[in-house]
Structure 1
Amino acid sequence: MKKIKKMSLLLISAMALVACNSETEVDDTSSSEPVEQSETTQEAAETEVAVNKEGFPIVDQQITLDILAPGVGQAEWEDMPVMQNYTELTNIAFNYTTPPQSDFATRLNLAFASGELPDLIYAGGPNSLNAAGEVDYGSQGLLIPLENMLEEYAPNFYQLLEENPAIRQSITTTDGHIYALPNVVQSDTASWIMGPVWYNGEWLDNLDVEAIPETVDEFYELMIRFRDEDPNDNGQQDEIPISDVSMNGLRGWFMPAFGIKGWGIEEHDGQARYTFATDNFRAYLEYMNKLYQEGLLDRETFSQSGEQKQAKGQNNQIGVFQDWFSYFTTGQSEEEALNNPMFGPLTSEWQQEPVMPMDPGIKRGSFAITKENPYPEATLRWVDYFYSPEGYEYISYGPEGYLWEWDEGGEEAGNKVYNEEVDEENREQYRGTLTPAYGITIPALTVELDPIGGSRSEFTDFIKEETDEKIVQHGEHIFPLVYLTAQEQEEVNTIKVDLETYIVESEAAFITGNREINDGTWAEYIETLEKIGVRRIEEIHQAAYDRWVEAGE
């Protein structure tokens, strides 16, 4: 095994040498009484574990914390050199619980329901530790408020708040507290709501396709060709024109073709509306049902895992798919992936002007500290490093001696080159064995990094050009990053679980044809949504939207 080498790290400034000896009060909008501090935190205060004010280690004697995070599928976290090396630097070690990404939200909910909480939640992201969870668990005292510790123990993140007040506005709940830190994106991919959809460029070349579709009809015709004309050129009819896992990747990029910007609540002409209770959503379902029935959408979409989809992609069986970069699915090199164009906006009778959903560049819920954590100040210092450009480079590329090494000029020259022992075609997969910054929403300041080997890569320029052309010039935000009051959130929580369960089940049933789409079944569907409480969901979010507009005036 290669020796782990410590990087030369920028010192983290503005840290006070302080013991964990202060109580934290949590204000609840429904009560003037503070939430009681947990016994674990009180015990930690009594132990007076000192946090060093700058540099490494963060604490002089090693401490161990329980972390809950999604697995990245390439290696176990305890085997990753980044985590091993950072433990050496900080003196903070972990007991890891890292279920697969597909199971993470369930595992996180179970932890809160059972009361068996980790010390910190890492890379929860908006699909797991969402705004509702922040408000709910924060108001219960299960997550501790962070805002009063940020200036002292998270100076890198605090600087971001000072430079961009919109970040603070977007992560401060209605009770005035910050319960979770976000991923902040200042890069070419900042506008992505998730990894884009990609076309298989080899298939396009084999069929002499000169331009990607611009309408839903053109897309349909191309998928027919993908199905019937052997675009992978193996003499077998094994092509799957479109594949996904439970529509979680495709849905957000295809719905705009039918006049819907995103999942759940969206802003439409100043009004908050629930997208799944619109005729636009019916049109989307009818279109997807058509693709499914004609063998264009993978018949295993609602039963396969991400790993199974990836295996099909690496076997060159998929024509259209969603992933962060196309080579994550295809297994190609970056150079080969230059040939895979990004999916662009489609138009239809429902949406005659191209539109694509655009992310605000803030992904909430990426990092939270629970009431069980005996060392919250040290934990904040641990994560804050990744909100600096150097820290993000470290967690992205790993320590020296694995993916990269210094060139002949040495560390003083500061020029990184790829480790010659790493196969060029498998660099990205190898990187996923080094660091957790691989396909999950890590708590960090995501910036454009100085590329290994010197100049900005052709692939990086390709991503920027595709993003500007396909997303940015047509981009609209789905809905502002608002928070609800505790009372509103409680009401939404009561409604939302049944509502979304019914919607997900209905989407699968309508697309697969297990439930026919006609005027009668659609009326029943809408009636059920209304009985569950969809109109009340819209009313609550309209009030939150109006508050958000007023706050910006």
Structure 2
Amino acid sequence: MKRKFWLIVLAAVLLTTLIACSNEDASNEEEGNEENASADVEVNKEGFPIVDEEITLSMLAPGTGLAEWEDMPTLQEYSEMTNINFEYETPPLSDFQTKLNLAFASGEIADIIFGASTNELTPGMEVDYGQQGILLPLEDLIEEYAPNFKALMEENPELERSITTTDGHIYALPSVNQHPTAKWPAGPMWYNGAWLDAVGVEELPKSTDELYDLLVRFRDEDPNGNGEADEIPLTDVKMNSSRRWFLAAFGMKDWGIEEVDGTVRYAPMTENYKEYLTYMNKLYDEKLLDQETFAQADEQKKAKGQQNRLGLFPDWFSFFTTGQPEEEAINNPMFHPLTSDVSPEIVLPGSPGISRGAFAITSNNDNPEASIRWVDYLYSKEGRDFFDQGPEGYLWEEGEDGNRVFTEVPEEFESSEDYRGTLTPAYGINTPMLVDLVEGAPRSEFDLFIEEETKAKIDAYAETAYPLVYLTDEEQEEVNTIEVDLQSYVEQMEAKFITGVEPLENWDEYVETIENMNIERYVQIYQDAYDRWASN
């Protein structure tokens, strides 16, 4: 009887254990199903919401500090439209690259990388982390879930070539700029319109000789009318903004690698570049170029502009330097591209309108289909307008004629742009979207002036200096090694040649030094990359 009793007890214990294990397995399976539920969520290929069942993703993006992203009305409304919520990590723009690198190194990378520039999510990083499987290839997702971006690629074949890496995959989406100023390679240069009137100029210079003559008149004829010889005919900060316009006058599209009729060259060692240096040295020597060009900061340049001491100067808009209201800045004409003895036809660099690295999906993302649909809306006209100016009732309202009317900016903001930066993330970063004029938004006389000047003086001539290419890992490593000393040397020597510290008689020694920096291999790498791009 005793033996039988213990057998019954043992059987009961075993049965209890089996039941407990079974329940635990079922519980674990249920938890696993809950964890994977978002991965199985159905994605609607058209319209909103994107998913019927709410999901939450994580996003790493650079913040501008004007507002927390979860508080931005544009993102709040878009979450309601899509049923996709986000946990935002937005370190300051200045710290974003460091944060991004640490996230990649740790493996704890967000589901989505948003708003990175090509300096932060570099082409080399796209290739490297794409081949490691950390960044997902996007081309199949685009084909099935991104009709707006797919249409942009079909409309502009250069777009697909420019974002397809050496292994044939697309790992990041860009910002696509179709704005009237999209061709600007950087901020233009502007003439002081009042000075042009003072010296009786009716037609802007079209050649380097004509510009020289005008700058002499700015220096000598007291165009600011104060009776003092304080005029500065031409200024810049380290030539960083005006350089490209003067290089173009001598037949060059870039201060480095450029393509000319299918052949790649390094511009700073060409005879064209020597002519550029000779001309700028002449301007500097005759005090037509600001003697503080290589010493001043942008704030000093702007101070001179507000004192009405500048005749020709670079900036995004002229009133950024002069401090004038927009209605007065209309009188400051945009610089017209120049020709020269060595470049009788106008050459002008232009932006390709494509800024890479703006949006990527990582391997931690369980919902890549929903993610690509989420961003694809930003590449439509409707989505562009929504992300650019936010929902109605903040920055704008619909007027009686159906067009937009801008509302009064709250007193705590210095400008409408500062206010806009609290409403939408499409401010001050490389936003993955279609950049263009907002449909129905009011346009000022200054806006129309800028568009007309751009059409006549930039769009008519601009061409890309060198296409957006991808290098292989080995090529990128070689380029990085060569560039460290090369760029530093060329930058130092430009300042020395222009200011006369280094006489141009030493040009041959300068070229020889560059040749000894493995420049032949450097150019060949970019020639090979260009050939791949051209044949893609």
The TM-score by the shorter chain falls in which range? 0.7 to 0.9
Q: Residue 361 in 1 paired to residue 350 in 2?
A: no
Match of 2:455 among 468, 482, 486: 468
In the other structure, the counterpart of 1:253 is 245
Mapping 1:118-197, distance limit 5 Å: 119=110, 121-126=113-118, 129-139=121-131, 143-197=135-189
CA RMSD of the aligned region, Å? Answer: 4.0
TM-score normalised by L of structure 2: 0.77
1:291-347 superposed Cα distances (whole Å, 9 cap, x missing partner): 445544445544555566556545655443334433444454443332222211112
1:452-485 superposed Cα distances (whole Å, 9 cap, x missing partner): 24xx654444333222321233333322333334
Amino acid at match of 1:154: A
- 1:230 deviates by 4.9
**Cα distance in 1, alignment partners of residues 74 and 241 from structure 2:** 29
Match of 2:436 among 447, 455, 463: 447
Amino acid at match of 1:147: E
The verdict on how the C-alpha distance between 1:139 and 1:329 changes in structure 2, with shifts beyond 3 A counting, is farther
Q: Residue 518 in 1 paired to residue 507 in 2?
A: no
Q: Which has the higher helix share?
A: 2
**Cα distance in 2, alignment partners of residues 243 and 548 from structure 1:** 38
Q: Residue 66 in 1 paired to residue 60 in 2?
A: yes
Q: Is the 8 A contact 1:403 1:422 kept in 2?
A: no
- 1:444 deviates by 1.6
- 1:370 deviates by 5.4
In the other structure, the counterpart of 2:490 is 503
Structure 1 or 2, whichever has the larger Rg, is 2
The verdict on how the C-alpha distance between 1:405 and 1:299 changes in structure 2, with shifts beyond 3 A counting, is farther
Mapping 1:321-340, distance limit 5 Å: 321-340=313-332
Q: Secondary structure at the match of 2:312?
A: strand
**Cα distance in 2, alignment partners of residues 441 and 306 from structure 1:** 23
Mapping 1:197-236, distance limit 5 Å: 197-227=189-219, 229-233=221-225
In the other structure, the counterpart of 2:404 is 416
In the other structure, the counterpart of 1:16 is none
- 1:437 deviates by 4.2
Q: Residue 492 in 1 paired to residue 479 in 2?
A: yes
The verdict on how the C-alpha distance between 1:88 and 1:289 changes in structure 2, with shifts beyond 3 A counting, is farther
The verdict on how the C-alpha distance between 1:246 and 1:449 changes in structure 2, with shifts beyond 3 A counting, is same
- 1:260 deviates by 0.7
Residue identity over aligned pairs, in percent, reads 52
Deviates more, 1:107-116 or 1:149-158: 107-116
Q: Residue 527 in 1 paired to residue 512 in 2?
A: yes
Amino acid at match of 1:528: T
Q: Secondary structure at the match of 1:183?
A: strand
The verdict on how the C-alpha distance between 1:255 and 1:518 changes in structure 2, with shifts beyond 3 A counting, is same
- 1:275 deviates by 1.1
Deviates more, 1:312-321 or 1:201-210: 312-321
TM-score normalised by L of structure 1: 0.75
The verdict on how the C-alpha distance between 1:429 and 1:491 changes in structure 2, with shifts beyond 3 A counting, is same
**Cα distance in 2, alignment partners of residues 213 and 451 from structure 1:** 37
Q: Is the 8 A contact 1:174 1:486 kept in 2?
A: no
Q: Secondary structure at the match of 2:181?
A: coil
Deviates more, 1:183-192 or 1:166-175: 183-192
Q: Residue 343 in 1 paired to residue 335 in 2?
A: yes
Q: Secondary structure at the match of 2:356?
A: strand
In the other structure, the counterpart of 2:24 is none
Mapping 1:423-438, distance limit 5 Å: 427=416, 431=420, 434-435=423-424, 437-438=426-427
The verdict on how the C-alpha distance between 1:61 and 1:307 changes in structure 2, with shifts beyond 3 A counting, is farther
Deviates more, 1:427-436 or 1:287-296: 427-436
Amino acid at match of 1:504: E
Q: Is the 8 A contact 1:57 1:91 kept in 2?
A: no
Q: Give structure 1 stretches of 5+ with no counterpart.
A: 1-42
In the other structure, the counterpart of 2:524 is 539
Q: Give structure 2 stretches of 5+ with no counterpart.
A: 1-33
- 1:262 deviates by 1.6
**Cα distance in 1, alignment partners of residues 104 and 294 from structure 2:** 27
